[in-house]
């Protein structure tokens, strides 16, 4: 699975800011509070931009993430096929729900990967059609 610590931390911080806004009454929000929250958001975005420019070594590059995703789909498909074969051969340690869950996992992960591929191809075509 792809490590998404940086995305999760950003989402968590955004949720905290959102919950702070919800706690306060709309009429009670003064300009100081708005400025304070705006400063927090600005600092967060500047920090994320700095990390993106300098390159955070803990985040894998796109090629590595995509390869890991494809490998995961391949693993799900192999596991599904193996379990199905074992069930068909009458292996008592493999039950039908386990086989069906593995097959559904395999199917869903393959469909998701296909959609990602389609979006990437579409984005590539769009970039290639841009005037220079």
Give residue 130's pLDDT: 87
Q: What is the domain range of residue 68?
A: 62-128
Is residue 57 within 8 Å of residue 3, measured between CB atoms? no
**Six-digit token string for 70:** 């494809």
Say yes or no: 30 and 66 in one domain.
no
Q: Are residues 86 and 35 in the same domain?
A: no
Domain co-membership, 120 together with 73 = yes
Do 27 and 72 belong to one domain? no
pLDDT digits (tens, 9 = 90+) for 5-58: 556 666 667 677 767 766 664 544 455 455 666 677 677 666 666 665 555 566
CA dist 104 to 66, 73, 95, 122, Å?
21, 12, 15, 27
Residues 73 and 105 in one domain: yes
d(CA 66, CA 6): 17
Structure pTM? Answer: 0.52
Give the chain's domain count: 2
């Amino acid at each position: 699975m792809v490590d998404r610590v940086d995305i999760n931390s950003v989402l968590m911080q955004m949720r905290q800011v959102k919950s702070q806004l919800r706690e306060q009454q709309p009429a009670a929000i003064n300009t100081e509070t708005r400025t304070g929250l705006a400063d927090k958001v600005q600092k967060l975005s500047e920090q994320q931009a700095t990390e993106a420019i300098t390159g955070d070594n803990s985040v894998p590059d796109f090629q590595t993430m995509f390869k890991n995703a494809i490998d995961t789909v391949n693993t799900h498909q192999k596991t599904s096929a193996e379990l199905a074969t074992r069930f068909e051969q009458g292996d008592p340690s493999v039950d039908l729900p386990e086989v069906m869950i593995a097959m559904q996992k395999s199917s869903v992960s393959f469909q998701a990967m296909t959609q990602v591929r389609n979006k990437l191809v579409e984005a590539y075509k769009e970039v290639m059609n841009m005037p220079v």
